[in-house]
Each structure stands twice: as structure tokens, then as C-alpha cells.
Amino acid sequence: MRKETRELYRTPILQQTAFWSDVKNQLGLTSLAIDFRSDRSGLFTGSPLSGHIHSDLLVLIMPLGNGHSLAYVPYGPELEPGEEAQGPFLEELTESLRSFLPAHCIAVRYDLFWESWWAREEERYDDRGFWLGEPQRGFSELRFNFNTIRKNFRKAHFNILPANTIFIDLKPELETILHRMKPKTRYNIGLAFRKGVSVRSAGLESIDTWYELYRETAIRNRLTLNDVKYFEAILKARAESTSSPAEVHLLIAEEGHTPLAALFLILSGNRGCYLYGASSDAGRNKMATYALQWEAIRISRERGCTGYDMFGVAPNPDPSHPLYGLYKFKSGFGGNIYHSMGCWDYPLNEEEYVRYLHTELTSKGYHLG
């Protein structure tokens, strides 16, 4: 059943909130909120509980040109069935979604935050305890479609949102959280403050400061540069009167009046999320990025969050991976690495879907998230 996006349930998954819907609406996208009910016994094998589970999901309609569109579900649905029920559950959910989607919607793309099956299997780790990743696409699809009727799910060629992250437990005292970090990380946090770095919480008035740091970072790392309007939308989004609001902090680390680094911290449900970060080449020896993360952790815990999401790392310490540097930096703060299922497609129009895949494979810098 369709409902107003303001009625989306409170959740720690930022991308499934009314707040995120407002951000995307400001950027010109259409969003749908869908309420659904599932039989508990069909979701969890051997569960002694009966009855139904009520849940919902946020769907973004992405225009593709020529009147076609893609229905994108960022990190949803939140409801995560047992492994054997995941394919059938998502198949039934997708078929139920059809009537709510535009007539020329070619596929539903789920960016699943469900834990990867292969992250729970010992044989998928090497002798150092590092994850080897998922098997080939064909094997993954065979396993995901097991027990489904139409065998229609396809593993997307790319993940839009990060499929690997690090979660830090914020329930212990701050001293314990600090103690669980690697010694070099603890040292660099202290060093930043000893060198005179301070961190302040800013708002829209500091968007130019953020964007200059962000531009420098994107050029340095050869990243696709988002327009400043994207970040303005995050700071302007208002969801206080909804069921799933979020609290936004633009944190800026400075030495005196000189900006050194900045990040976006978003609090949703009981989780803090480090969404975007940027830093200057100048003053790198001041370790401002370490002070920023510590402040984000402290704020998250102070606001009642029980977890902190570092948002995006390499799946293992492979120096050839483009996110290897983020893995080294973020893993120093302690926490546990989490591997999710990533993007899965359910084609609704096979011919147009195949045509879209060709376009996607030949286009660079195409992001939906």
C-alpha cells in the first residue's frame, strides 16, 4: 500500500528515511513510500513466532530518457528475512510493487544492505582472516534465485552505495571506544588537538568552505565532482515533522581560521553515519581528519546513537583496490567490517533492461545513490 513519504518508519538506515526522500526530491527525483505486510513464518525458517511483520521501503524513480525509468531502492528493504526466504520474499515484494511504478519502468534495483551470505562462511576467508569476496556472478545469481518462481534476479555490474563498511559500537564508554582503536589512530587523534586543531559544527553558511575542500579532494583523488546543489540539499532537507527525521552536522576541522578538513555526519534512528569527507593538502601533518572522526563519534554517542557507520571501505586490505586508503584509515578506529549483498536487479522489461545495461557498462561516473 502506498503512503506519504513523511510516514516512513524510523530507521537507522539513512537512505530509507523521509529525510533522504526530501534530499532526493530537492534534486528533482520522484520518491514513493510503500507499506507492506509479511507473514513471519515465511520469512524465518523454524521461527516459533506467528503473525505478520509490518514494514516499508523508500523507492526512488530514476529517469533514463525516452520515457523509461528505473525504480531504485537505496539500502532497502530494511526487513531482512532468513537466507532461504530472501529470494522468494523479494520476488513477491517486487511483483506487488508493479502497480505503483511508472508504466515504462524497466526494472527494480535493490541496493541490499542485507549481510552477504559469503561473509558468514569460513571458507570465504584467507589464513589471515581477510574476506575473499563473493563468487562469480553466475553462481551468486543461481543461489539468490533458488526457491523463486521466475528466476529473474540479476546481480548488477556495479554497486551504487558502498557494499562494505565498518561499524563502531558506541555503547561502551568513550575511553573504551578509544582503547579499541589502533595505537597509531589514538596517537593521531591526540596529536591533532595538541597541534591546535579544533572542530566546529557548521551549517549552510559554511557550504563554500566545505565545497572548496571537497573540490580539492575530488581533483586529488580523480573522483567525479558532485554539484554544490547536492550538498545544499542535504543541509536544507527538513524532516522534523516526519516519522523518520535525521540530524545533520557539517563538521569542520580548523587550525585557527584555516579550514583543514570537513565531513557530513548524519544521525538517523540509533546510528551515526559518516556520509562525505574532504580534506586539504595543506596542513596534512595536523591530522585533522582524525580529530573530525573522533568528534563525529563523540557527537553520535552523545545524541544516543549505539553505532557509527564509517560508510565505505575496500572489502579487504588489498593495495590494488581503489578504496584501500580508506580501509587503512577507517579500520584504525576499531569496529567490525560488514559486507552487504550490494545491488540486485529485477527486470520488468527485458529488452529495455538489456539496452540499459549496455549503456551503464559504457558510461563512466554514473551514480544513482
Query: Which of these, 115, 130, 182, lies nearest to 317 by C-alpha position?
Result: 130
Query: Which of these, 233, 258, 262, 238, lies nearest to 249 by C-alpha position?
Result: 262
Give me the chain's average pLDDT, please: 94
Angle of CA points 181, 308, 324, to nearest 5°: 60
Number of Cβ within 10 Å of residue 220's Cβ equals 12
d(Cα 277, Cα 310) in Å, to the nearest integer? 11
Over residues 113-127, the pLDDT tens digits come to 999 999 999 999 999
* pLDDT (mean) for 168-190: 98
pLDDT at 48 over 80: no
Contacts of 190 (CB under 8 A, 6+ apart): none
pLDDT at 33 over 90: yes
* pLDDT (mean) for 34-44: 88
- Reported as type and span, the H/E element at residue 233 is helix 228-236
pLDDT at 280 over 50: yes
pLDDT at 364 over 60: no
d(Cα 111, Cα 201) in Å, to the nearest integer? 31
240-279 burial, b at 16+ Cβ within 10 Å, e below that, comes to eebbbbbbbbbbbbbbeeebbbbbbbbbbbebbbbbbbbb
Over residues 136-164, the pLDDT tens digits come to 999 999 999 999 999 999 999 999 999 99
d(Cα 217, Cα 264) in Å, to the nearest integer? 14
pLDDT band at 185 (very low <50, low <70, confident <90, very high): very high
pLDDT at 169 over 90: yes
Write down the pLDDT at residue 361: 86
Query: Which of these, 212, 206, 256, 204, lies nearest to 232 by C-alpha position?
Result: 204
The percent of residues above 70 in pLDDT, for the chain, comes to 97
Number of Cβ within 10 Å of residue 355's Cβ equals 15
* 49-53, 117-121, 323-327: range with lowest mean pLDDT: 49-53
d(Cα 35, Cα 58) in Å, to the nearest integer? 9
Walk me through the domains of the chain, giving residue ranges and CATH numbers. Answer: 2-163+340-362 (3.40.630.30), 171-305 (3.40.630.30)
Over residues 244-259, the pLDDT tens digits come to 999 999 999 999 999 9
Over residues 57-104, the pLDDT tens digits come to 999 999 998 899 999 999 999 999 999 999 999 999 999 999 999 999
d(Cα 200, Cα 288) in Å, to the nearest integer? 12
Write down the pLDDT at residue 49: 66
d(Cα 145, Cα 119) in Å, to the nearest integer? 19
